[in-house]
Amino acid sequence: GNSVTQMEGPVTLSEEAFLTINCTYTATGYPSLFWYVQYPGEGLQLLLKATKADDKGSNKGFEATYRKETTSFHLEKGSVQVSDSAVYFCARGGTGNQFYFGTGTSLTVIP
Amino acid sequence: GAVVSQHPSRVICKSGTSVKIECRSLDFQATTMFWYRQFPKQSLMLMATSNEGSKATYEQGVEKDKFLINHASLTLSTLTVTSAHPEDSSFYICSARDPASGGADTQYFGPGTRLTVL
């Protein structure tokens, strides 16, 4: 089964609003956690990552903290822009070839 | 660093023909690449793992005779969709790991190839 669960979208926000996209995972150990972003018609780009508990990944104003106690890696941004409109995927690493993705959350930011 | 390219970005073909998609690591060597398939508004589904110099490893339910994978060099993997049918229409994305820049478990993705089979 899918070991990454993220908030279903779509999410629509006004410019400069606060963004949270929830992501939780299941794992027997402490896998690396990732957020990828997919702009329309493009592939996935690594947005940020965290490799161990309490690590905070950050990039382009986005942040996510690896919370072992709640098995979560929620994505946040204090003030979204129209250019942030995209689909965001939470993912976790695994052993060998496995790389588990959430179902993606579509974000639309309106001016 | 860690750039992955794909070619073509978009292809339209007739039913029954074969289509080859290339995935290249531009600034690093990748002994392992991954091929994913993405349906509209859905997540990525791992199809197979491409291993340089050896056979690809396919995920359960993926037909290896239909989706031929060749990883002939450390910078190139190809996916050939043989005898394509309309149900093969999808967005195909490859990825590779670059331990030198992102750690052993970070995957870098190509821009994807949109396949449409008429």
- Residues of B within 8 A of A51 (CB-CB) are 103, 105
Q: Assess whether pLDDT exceeds 70 at residue B65.
A: yes
Answer whether B111 sits within 8 Å of A103, measured CB to CB: no
User: How much is the pLDDT for B31?
Assistant: 83
User: How much is the pLDDT for B88?
Assistant: 95
Q: B83 vs chain A: nearest CA distance in angstroms?
A: 25
Q: B26 vs chain A: nearest CA distance in angstroms?
A: 15
Q: What is the mean pLDDT of residues A75-89?
A: 96
Q: Assess whether pLDDT exceeds 70 at residue A80.
A: yes
Which of A42, A55, A88 is the best residue to mutate to test the B interface, defined by the most B CB atoms within 10 Å of its own CB?
Answer: A42
User: How much is the pLDDT for A95?
Assistant: 67
Calpha distance A25→A76 (Å, rounded): 17
Q: Assess whether pLDDT exceeds 70 at residue A107.
A: yes
Which of B105, B113, B116 is the best residue to mutate to test the A interface, defined by the most A CB atoms within 10 Å of its own CB?
Answer: B105
Q: Assess whether pLDDT exceeds 70 at residue B103.
A: no
Residue A90's nearest CA partner among A42, A36, A46 is A36
Cα→Cα distances A41→A38, A87, B6, B22, B113, Å: 8, 11, 13, 18, 9
Preceding peptide of B99 cis, ω within 30°: no
pLDDT tens track for B75-84: 999 999 999 9
pLDDT tens track for B17-59: 999 999 999 988 888 899 999 887 778 888 999 888 888 999 9
Quickly count: other Cβ atoms within 10 Å of residue A14's Cβ. Answer: 10
DSSP B21-68: EEEEESSS--SEEEEEEE-TTS-EEEEEEEETTS--EEPTT--TTTEE
pLDDT tens track for A3-59: 899 988 899 999 999 999 999 999 888 888 999 999 987 888 999 999 999 999 999
CB contact residues (below 8 A), chain A span 48-107, against chain B? 49, 51, 89, 93, 97-99, 101-104, 106
Q: Are B76 and B96 in contact (CB under 8 A)?
A: no
The first and second tokens of residue A110, run together, are: 């309106």
The rounded Cα B67 to chain-centroid distance in angstroms is: 10
Cβ-Cβ contacts under 8 Å for B14 (sequence gap 6 or more) = B117, B118
The residue of chain A nearest to residue B10, with distances taken between CA atoms, is A41
Which of A7, A30, A44 is the best residue to mutate to test the B interface, defined by the most B CB atoms within 10 Å of its own CB?
Answer: A44
Q: Assess whether pLDDT exceeds 70 at residue A97.
A: no
